[in-house]
Structure 1
Amino acid sequence: IMLNCNPETVSTDYDVCDRLIFDEVSLETVLDVCEHERPDGVVVSMGGQVPNNLALDLHRAGIRVLGTSPEDIDRAEDRNKFSRLLDELGIDQPRWMHMRDIADADTVVAQLGGFPVLVRPSYVLSGAAMSVAHEPNEFARILARAQDVSPEHPVVVSAFETHAREFEIDAVADRGEIVLWAISEHIEDAGVHSGDATLVLPPQTLYIATIRRARRIAAALAKALEITGPFNVQFLAKHNAVKVIECNLRASRSFPFVSKATGSNFAREAMRRMLGSAGPVRNDSLNLDHVAVKAPMFSFSRLVGADPMLGVEMMSTGEVGCFGDDLHEALLHALRATGFRFPKRGVLLSLGPVADKFWFAGEARVIANDLKLPIYATAGTAEMLAEIGIACTTVEKRRAPGPNAIELIETGAVDLVINIPREYDQFGRPDGVLIRRAAVEAGVPLVTDLQLARAVIEALRAKRPSDLRVLPWQGFAARGGSG
């Protein structure tokens, strides 16, 4: 029996279940269905955050929840309980504190080492009310919103790790033992919600030691939480130190992606384990003979005035997954599937802080020398480019007499915009919003993350449009592992 009220999901296709009940997923509805249908058990870990939130209440009402116990689901979902569990297990995490009173804000920030800080409510979907605060006024507003979203649980505030890599492990466990797993790497730095990040499988830049450490952490969490079924752990890596962000005891949105990429059906195996059925599995996600990339899709063009700037709260409305022989091919296939076009006329650069400007210097040379595209740059970026001998045209950020970024975008003089915010105002808003909105409204490809920008330029250098081969999924799946 399938209970779902979303007409856009595959699970509301009556061909995939014996009986479809098209109704809201709420405690009252589930109890009514259970009273009428008398099921042997209920699965809450395959429908996202909403059914997961019902696990404890269903258990208290006497309903059998299949898979991981509701008490252990609560230990993972409650930010305060989970952070304490990590401390008990000796697993590293960003420094954190929980708070119920906004009056404690200044003390909490000081003890965490100052701004920026990350505010994390419990039991939320897609990072709802989760935000990074860069200054006190913004922090107060975020705290108020987080407490409104999850009033029953204390808000966890943690130190925000800058310039850290983010990756995640999707896995299936059986009575606390991992039986199937895959690690995906984010191209973007930490700070972009996993649903908005560009995922790569197998990981291309993680150290072997980092992967091994993450695998051991996931195994320790699976054992401590006695997991049976699906789960997802998100990590930070910086200077080869690995820290845990969160653990979701449910099928994540990347479950279908890793299943396609590895050829192993994670959802099916998780369901088998929850039903008590065990069979042989293959774990060769690090030994694939291809690379898969999942890229997000956004609808900013339909949201008048919205800043297309990514953060820890999810913004994407869809995603695509593409394969290639290497990262460059898979990334360009995925970007093209989202509407990205190869630049042919010019590139606008506005590169944020000084360190970011010089970090992009090599890619700027690629744009000028290899791609042979004219570069237009805002004042600070143009000054850096001049210092290292790269020709560019200086433009104003706003409309003004002479060359300016807005008119270049509107007239089609540039067909790729790379805009990295440099600073935040007293309301926590990043600069450059006029440039970003102009790009969205003109349909010009826009990149707002430095790591993704570097990966895109390197891919454009390595591959021309004619180099991108189109093969069926079965062709890649048949290759299996290279070992």
Structure 2
Amino acid sequence: MRSMILKYNPETTSTDFDEADRLYFEELSYERVMDIYGLENASGVVVSVGGQLPQNIALRLQETGKANVLGTDPRDIDKAEDRQKFSEILDSIGVDQPAWKELTSVEAAEKFAQEVGYPVLVRPSYVLSGAAMTVIRSQEDLKDKLEAASNVSPDHPVVISKFIEGAQEIDVDGVASKGELIIHAVSEHVEQAGVHSGDATLVLPPANLDQDTMDRVKEIAQKVAKAWNITGPFNMQIIRAEDPEGGVPALKVIECNLRASRSFPFVSKVLGTNFIDVATKALVGKDVPQPTDLMAVKRDYLATKVPQFSWTRLAGADPFLGVEMASTGEMACFGKNLVEAYWASLQSAMNFRVPEPGEGILFGGELSKNWLATVVDYLAPLGYKLYAADVEVKEYLETKSKHKINVEVIEFPKEDKRALREVFKKYDIRGVFNLAQARGKTVMDVDYVMRRNAVDFGVPLFMEPQTAMLFAQCMSEKLPRPEGIPSEVRRWSDFIGGKPL
């Protein structure tokens, strides 16, 4: 069998299939599906619960293999996967989306980017986990990034869209039958929009969305289900962008996958309804339940799903979240509120240790935002020792903090890993908050060195602003710990009333 070739991209956090690999595995998968389909004399094939690859071969299974694809018609799947067709349909049904344009040349792309303003997002079709999707912040980066994106899927158009910074992202998991929405779940992201949904912390039911937003999200889900004539599971991402003039926040669809997502088990557990069971009934067209609004039920709990990262498996990669997925797993926990649920979820992560009061915390990153100051305001009263790698960060924190604090500047040998390890040990650094806006451009970038070595030394790293501030809030409210079993430790059945799935 042909060996799988993986290429490490130093500008991301992961390894990607090259184009030859993608085509090879699609061909292999198609042949094996058709072999099994014929051997079993199957009456149908399901392509909506196997991730991205079945979506890529769905149209071929139907048109070339003459297989009976259950659920959403592969021609409609193609209209969701092809970015040009997807965007045109959204326009036709009156569903808002970020400004976009199909790429035909670098010159046209540069003109469009100048019109809408940087940053912009380059997005190819039919790709897995955000592969080759890139946020571009300057004209200088545009040409190289566009060429890299076009190599991923040359048979499908590449679309460039306006990237809206500071927006909130919303996840919708749903099941439809013949274009009618049956059930749906609305989860909000803690992280800023632009972090891949697989790497994002999901909150369900949402803690910060008002009823008007929830109603509008449901209406969008209904329109999308009807426009693509969906039968079976689907997942959609929407961004909520504030109106600079104080009007109603805009809701813009950025993606819709006509398949089950990794959050299906999560929303099923939280809402006490087995989404895949409902999806199966829709796929086979039997005992399909009547439409039910699960989000209209008021609950006295919520749950968070947090990512598990394996940064140590990619030596030298910058631990930084973006539009390409980097996580390798996830944990979910319940709580009576967001702080309780997130506190429990993050401590469930492998090899995670909460920094104890009296130990050292190292700070770095962006100083034009209030992120680091907010974190310090939560932590300062707890008695941590505060450190920075340069005077600029020290002066910023001491000036911006609401508390009278002392931040010590420590030596930071960027080129000597062994010496840096000794520095971490000397100052008992047990937590790192490095909240940068972009990846380090070189291996000598102080923020990159701080993030990379926190990972390599086994020190908890917080490198995304919203989750960093939330965890600092958790530390403020939960430390020191009470004696005995913490209040957030309860059985799943206690939260949802013992209802089995």
TM-score (norm 2): 0.84
Letter in 2 for 1:458: Q
Following TM superposition, by how much is the alpha carbon of 1:281 offset from its aligned partner in structure 2, in angstroms? 6.9
**Matching of residues 424-463 of structure 1 within 5 Å:** 432-463=447-478
Contact 2:312 2:456 (C-alpha < 8 Å) held by counterparts = yes
- Partner residue of 1:306 out of 299, 317, 337: 317
- Which residue, 74, 80, 93 being the options, matches 2:78? 74
The whole-number CA distance in structure 1 between the counterparts of 2:441 and 2:315 is 23
Match of 1:266 among 275, 278, 281: 275
The 8 Å contact of residues 134 and 424 in structure 1, kept in 2 or not, is answered as no
| 2:327 corresponds to 1:284 | no
Once the two structures are superposed, what CA deviation does each residue of 1:282-332 show, in whole Å capped at 9, x if it has no partner? 543452222111111111112211111111000011111111222111111
Query: Does the aligned pair in 2 maintain the 1:346–1:414 contact within 8 Å?
Result: yes
Of the three residues 338, 347, 352, the one matched with 1:340 is 352
Q: Percent identity?
A: 43
Q: Distance in 2 between matches of 1:375 and 1:447?
A: 15
Q: 1:40 maps to which residue?
A: 43
Following superposition of structure 1 onto structure 2, how do residues 77-226 of structure 1 map, counting pairs within 5 Å? 77-113=81-117, 115-226=118-229
Secondary structure, aligned partner of 1:105 = helix
Does the CA-based 8 Å contact 2:182-2:289 persist in structure 1? no
Change (3 A) 1:424 1:475: closer
Shift of 1:415: 1.3
Instruction: Provide the C-alpha distance between the structure 2 equivalents of 1:24 and 1:97, rounded to a whole number of angstroms.
Output: 30
Matched with 2:19 is none
What is the distance in 2 between the residues matched to 1:384 and 1:77?
46
Residue number in structure 2 paired with 1:243: 252
Distance 2:294 2:461 in 1: 35
1:26 maps to what in 2? 29
- Matched residues in 1 for 2:125 and 2:414: separation? 46
Q: Deviations over 1:119-152 (max 9, x none)?
A: 1110111111111112334332322221111111
CA 334–160 in structure 1, closer or farther in 2 if over 3 Å, else same? same
Distance 1:274 1:434 in 2: 50
**Could you tell me which amino acid in structure 2 is paired with residue 379 of structure 1?**
V
Q: Which residue of 2 aligns with 1:20?
A: none
Instruction: Tell me by how many angstroms 1:479 deviates.
Output: 6.0
Query: d(CA) in 2 for partners of 1:88 and 1:200?
Result: 31
Structure 2 distance, partners of 1:304, 1:373, is 30
Provide Cα deviations, 1:396-419, integer angstroms capped at 9, x if missing partner. 684289xx9875434462211110
Q: Which residue of 1 aligns with 2:391?
A: 379
Change (3 A) 1:244 1:45: same
Q: State the AA in 1 paired with 2:55.
A: N
Q: Which amino acid aligns with 1:375?
A: L
User: Is the 1:202–1:291 Cα contact (8 Å) retained in structure 2?
Assistant: yes
Is 1:364 the equivalent of 2:364? Answer: no
Task: Give the Cα separation in 1 of the matches to 2:233 and 2:138.
Answer: 38
The CA RMSD measured in Å over matched residues stands at: 2.5
Instruction: Indicate how the Cα distance of structure 1 residues 245 and 409 shifts in structure 2: closer, same or farther if over 3 A, else same.
Output: farther
Aligned residues: 452
Query: In the TM superposition, what is the alpha-carbon distance from 1:477 to its structure 2 partner?
Result: 2.6
Q: 1:477 to 1:353 in 2, by over 3 A?
A: same
Q: Does 1:324 align with 2:335?
A: yes
Structure 1, unpaired ranges of 5+ = 1-22
Change (3 A) 1:473 1:56: same
When residues 453 and 74 of structure 1 are mapped into structure 2, their CA distance, relative to the original with a 3 A threshold, is: same
Cα distance in structure 1, aligned partners of 2:180 and 2:191: 31
Q: Take 1:94 and 1:39, find their aligned partners in 2: how far apart are those partners?
A: 42
Using a 3 Å threshold, how does the CA distance of structure 1 residues 428 and 35 change in structure 2: closer, same or farther? farther
Cα offset, 1:184, TM superposition: 0.8
Compare 411-420 and 68-77 and name the one that shifted more: 411-420
Moved more, 414-423 or 293-302: 414-423
**Contact kept in structure 1, 2:372 and 2:435, CA below 8 Å:** no
* Equivalent position of 2:9 in the other structure: none
Give the structure 2 partner of residue 19 of structure 1: none
Query: Which whole-Å CA distance do the structure 1 matches of 2:165 and 2:229 have between them?
Result: 33
Q: CA, structure 1 residues 293+431, in 2 after alignment: closer, same or farther (shift >3 Å)? A: same
- The aligned amino acid for 1:305 is G
SS in 2 for 1:108: helix
Q: Distance in 2 between matches of 1:250 and 1:244?
A: 16
Aligned to 1:297: 308
Q: Residue type matched to 1:152 in 2? A: D
Cα gap change, 1:151 to 1:180, in 2 (>3 Å): same
Does the 8 A contact of 2:122 with 2:158 survive in 1?
yes
Q: Distance in 2 between matches of 1:93 and 1:379?
A: 43
The letter of the residue matching 2:318 is D
User: Which stretch of structure 1 is more off in the superposition, 99-108 or 227-236?
Assistant: 99-108
Structure 2 Cα separation of the partners of residues 405 and 387 of structure 1: 27
The answer to whether the 8 A contact 2:182-2:290 is kept is no
- Take 2:440 and 2:476, find their aligned partners in 1: how far apart are those partners? 36
SS in 2 for 1:437: helix
Q: Tell me if the contact between 2:341 and 2:488 (Cα under 8 Å) persists in the aligned partners.
A: no
Q: CA deviation at 1:426?
A: 6.7
C-alpha distance after superposition, 1:52-109 (max 9, x if no partner) = 1111111212211111111111111111111111111121111111113334332232
Q: Give the structure 2 partner of residue 391 of structure 1.
A: 405
- 8 Å contact from structure 1 (residues 365, 390) kept in 2: no
Read off the aligned partner of 2:413 and give its amino acid letter. R
The answer to whether the aligner puts 1:350 opposite 2:364 as a matched pair is yes
Secondary structure at the counterpart of residue 349 of structure 1: strand
Distance change >3 Å, CA 478–CA 348, structure 1 → 2: same
Alpha-carbon shift at residue 424 of structure 1 (Å): 6.1
Unpaired runs of 5+ residues, structure 2, are 1-25, 243-248
- Aligned partners of 2:360 and 2:160: how far apart in 1? 42
- TM-score normalised to the size of structure 1? 0.87
Partner in structure 2 of residue 475 of structure 1: 494
> Which whole-Å CA distance do the structure 1 matches of 2:28 and 2:272 have between them?
31
- SS of 2:294's partner is coil
